[in-house]
Structure 1
């Protein structure tokens, strides 16, 4: 909480920037009378005397109690400022009075200045103390005591002014003081101290004759009006001026002129939008969310609170390190925040572009930056220390105890930044860098703030700020695609917006078309700082050859991101070396280390990496890397597929290429989790393999994904991978691949309701299986025919194919598939109303699956039995079968089966009048259907739910 009690000017109390109503003048006087002695006790009689003096009313004590009560209420929100009663009086309890009450801060700064042996530091402390004054003290408070206190405080202010003048004169700054001291000497013509200061200032300004002339006037006036000669100090100064004592114009040994107040901040960004959470985080880190109206002391106190030290404790500066890739808006954010709070740094703001990543080439040497800062702080060239370490020490001395903001932009490394860090907690440092600067965080307590891309809302706000709401609203579809193509990258959005603003008649759709067709190249600009490719290229300068090669390879890796196993295969390095390189690229903000051990590139960064890969890496190098990573995915997926369906007939697998690192998957759950996480990578790997005509990889990836697609409801992906496999199969010698492909293409078409295509592919599969005398494929094709005709609703044909499949499975001694065929026979019979036959077949299937420890088959048989029991009026048995099937399906992660069985479970619940249970089942089924894209099923279940809402609960007789 920010709290301020202002006495050196109008008496004002603020809590979190809000002015507190302190009531009438005498009530304010009560607070002031307590504040000047805080936190010491003020006896009640003395308090009454201070408030009313000799004019104390009869009921003075009672009125005082009333004032105290009102003040407590007014200050109730300020937990560090409290009026408390003590034996015989009252006290104002203040947490850190020198930070809350400006008067105590003034006294503290004066005391510290008097203790200083360094005149430059003493000058800074006195300057800070005098800045606390905002006019005559205790304004708005009446009474004799207040008037006397006001006069005393004014004398203290003048004494501080005199002390500051003495210090600055010792530092040789008389030339800067002539005008100020001339006015003061005119106001106090008989004050020998002021007169001596004015003499010395004139002499140091090179106006010795004027100094001697003023001494004569001052001496004459003292004689005429006071009948006395000047004192010995003034006479001694006069003699030293006459003899041109060189010490009068030489600065104190080892000291500098009081530093200038540099104002080096570049202008705030012309258009700044979004980044609300990041600005709030900087407020928290650097100023504890400073509010408008807070005093500099409050802001400084907040800094001390964040760093864990009081400002005077000699702690290091509060530092925030803003990181992120090139073009993400680090400088944009830093300057927006710095300009927003610049007035909170009255001693100045320093700024330097350290050129860590810039067209200028090599990063700036830290000593060059120190020299620039010393120059800005008023150090003359002839007083610049010769040794770099001495220059850095001089810089730290000049900024010590000053409230300054230091912005170190575009840093290359922590080593470049450390010599520029002040040693004082009163300073605030903002560092921006594409590198993470972990050394700065570890050694100097910097607070890291990593910038990500803008959200879609923030991106739109940026375009509106540049182009106007009307134009953006008029081209909303193009704007939405433009935002998606730029991916929230501020530099890309800025370039596009600038071009659109320069060509207002050109539709945004044209720009979108260029981006869609040419990608990063469409953003190229003659200004290197506005060219994303050029800006990103500067990040590569500090990388090793190995890091640059891996960066390029990551650009062509299949999938949206990559994990360590796949990256190890891609790079051809050991896991340890791969991890080291990836960490280095993450530290350089070229990739992002995401939860789960994955590494991600922004789309535009990836586009640039792809360009680098094709320009700098030989085609055999790229090809070998892709083969390794494809095989890593392929062999890991093969292991996963075996866990999901261990009874599936195996296929022959060639050895992986050297350097491949498949991931071990010890059990079913690991396999399913890995497939869920890497499904996009497997689809991308198949596409990449197809592009490079690795036909066996394309076909094998389709095979490995089949069971996963069925269980997770990826119907469209299943069709796509088998269509790619069909093209690949034309180039493979094994005829089984053709049979397999047509069979599973047929099933994929059937799942999407494309019956003609499904039957066509299945007929081709059956012809090929018979032609090559492959009874296993014949049996599997008949079984798939069963399912395809079921989808069409022709259960007679389905039943015929199920019988053919059962006979062949028995002949081939494939008991799991025999059990599946029994269940298919039972299901078809049930759909034809032959429930007794159906029950016999499904129970036989369940028993066989149970003996073979096949949970997937058991779930299917239980689902069929649930259907049979429901349609024969045994609703409780139906529910039991369905619930067992759902439990098995959930264990297997088979959301396709779970959705279907939940759909069926609702009906026996409804038959029993259990509408709440039915609703729960159907709502979950509806959600899963929608996730799987099964819109027709989803619409049907929604109608069931709607009908359920209009049904009156009943409890019919249950024949079960």
Structure 2
């Protein structure tokens, strides 16, 4: 029996649905079953359905219903599938594979069939960098369990499917037992037919191969496996096969056969220009020229919005052919491969000015790059024994700049702060957000979900020749999360750890840096000081080299000290270093003769008192770097005087200024600075300085918040400490620019305030970050800030702080889709706000609670809280607050069928918003009036109102609400028989939803687009 004959009913059902271009929602509707049931059938998680529902599903998809199970008709033996969620069948019956790690182990083996995989590599994949001591025994146990599941009837002595090899295991399967080799076999067969000039046979083979896919790859195993090179390669082969399938179908004049598969894959990869070009040509060849042109309009808008680029040559050529009504024919070469004009980020910091030594390491890096021309690897630079200051970053940046020309698509850089003594390591989700910003992804297009962010990042850098420098990684997991999925990128990681997990799981090259030789250290001093000065005091130079222990950072600081003090004898400096006691306890001083503290102390002794004080305070400051105004607040000095002190520190190589106006310390220097501050400055001095710094951030952020959202009821920010001069922010654009520049420091300052008992500052700073976080799409950051803000408010115990914290935390949860959590906190907020007597805030709290309840479908309860919000605002002189309450209450009445009441409230809201120049509120009220007219059956009025709302949304550039209004406009147009207009509105809405990663809304509208006009109602 062939594999195709043995396919479970769910697989055949899904393949038929895709061939017909139907969504799961549409097929379930036609068959009269739930989407959940259909998903379970297609994934094989509910077995084979029986009875009437089976017949209806089969008929709706154009299939013959499955026959009742009979032993002789079941495909014999085991069959494993990885082309979709991991699944296993035995004799045609689905079988559970076991727990997550057991499933993951089988997936890893199945992705690389007939390849021996060592136990260390498997342990690294299952447990990461630090597997348990019992890893080998656990692997043996998992393999034994899998053998019993995969081959319950295996004869004793027969070779098992999972065979032991020397040091590991391999999966021995055929194309009849595993779908992956069968997929590759069919694709190879199709390619051979195509090369031999037999396109019909090629098309059949491509179609059979692509029909093996049952959904997204391996969604039910450890998510790290999907970043494994073998998994990435499988996904790439699927895309390439789909492109060749489309070309072949077009050659045969059967362009329509490829439309459904191209559309599905183009929707998964909305920025893939090759897929979009093929889809346009397929649609045009199938007589769907209008949709082909709309597809071009959609991807052109996405490229402009998300990447800031125009369509590439292949898309433009496809567009030209569609416009000219040329019949697409076979094309030479592979379309879609030319690199489009995309953003080219250049994020590398400046290279070290006088780089010295490392000849052997540079040669090895160059050789690895050359050897990886056809198979890109990940290069890792690691310090021996975790020693800092060994020169990892210097080497990485020197090599990166020297080879930048080999990465024409750009260079990305992030300091992951894995060993920063004053701040937590950068979470990968925060780092990837910075990469997305560098790749010019619009803030509203960045997903709130962290895994979706990583997927978007990998999609954007796929097939691009880029260098990614991950500096100061804490461990392999932190770095692995940021590895691109495609083969064209090169990654350099620096860390104080060996990162063996990257070696095991990603084949990384491991370079361990040792201290400099005496010759390399002498070369550095000679280049800094000149040969004459070094030759004049050879004994002193020998002592300096010995005291620095070959540590590059220490020698660099010594060289800077001598170079900036030409009259200082080298012997005097050597004696000073020898006489300075103590060591940096945080370093493994036993591995090198590290007198690093002596070097730092000698350097700081040369500073005047004010510069030395600022040096110590900078070591305590939260955040990865610091701006001039923040440093002035920390020092309690005017900006001009602070700038002079910073120049002195910069000249001594104790701070660097990678970007004008922002200052950064090496983490070892910062460690020493913090120690100096704790030893040399009174606790009251340190506390006052840090209080001034947090106050600077709080009061500048508060001023920025008032510019971004002037209608929001204010809080009392408190009185800033003396010598605190908040930045003067002139307008909304200036406020956004300041928030963007200081965001990481703001988060660090807020975390510091929350953990150090500065509770008043903590909750007020959370309040001041609110609108910026929503504007920029930092929803996860906003949630974290308010979780800390609520903790601070609880410790304070004041009703005002508690009411604000519960309300904003509840709203943050609701915006992220966690409505139950949001409603719980919003109810707490109501109770807390009632105790404050703050009527405006109580009105807004009821309004936010009504919004969350309405989103959850509790319309009656939502109306109750919206009514209370309006009642409260009726007692105040707050027309904008009252207008918002009127609009929400009108919306609730629409949903409840009370159209007269709804119109009165919505029209009142519109009049108030227009009377007080609130354009956002005006757009919301117009949309609500359209929503009311649509539900009342007054479609002409609904269409007019929606178009008015769209005009205002366009004016204020509100793409978030514009998507929903377009969707409702399409429904109103469809109701009056204007099908073309409806489809156009829906397509625009789908494009916006997908650009904003709102997949649930996009999927619902896409299903309506796919349905016949008679089935699109509602």
- Shared fold per TM-score greater than 0.5: no
In the superposition, the TM-score normalised over structure 1's length comes to: 0.44
Larger Rg computed on CA atoms: 1
Q: Which structure is higher in RCO with an 8 Å CA cutoff and minimum separation 6? A: 2
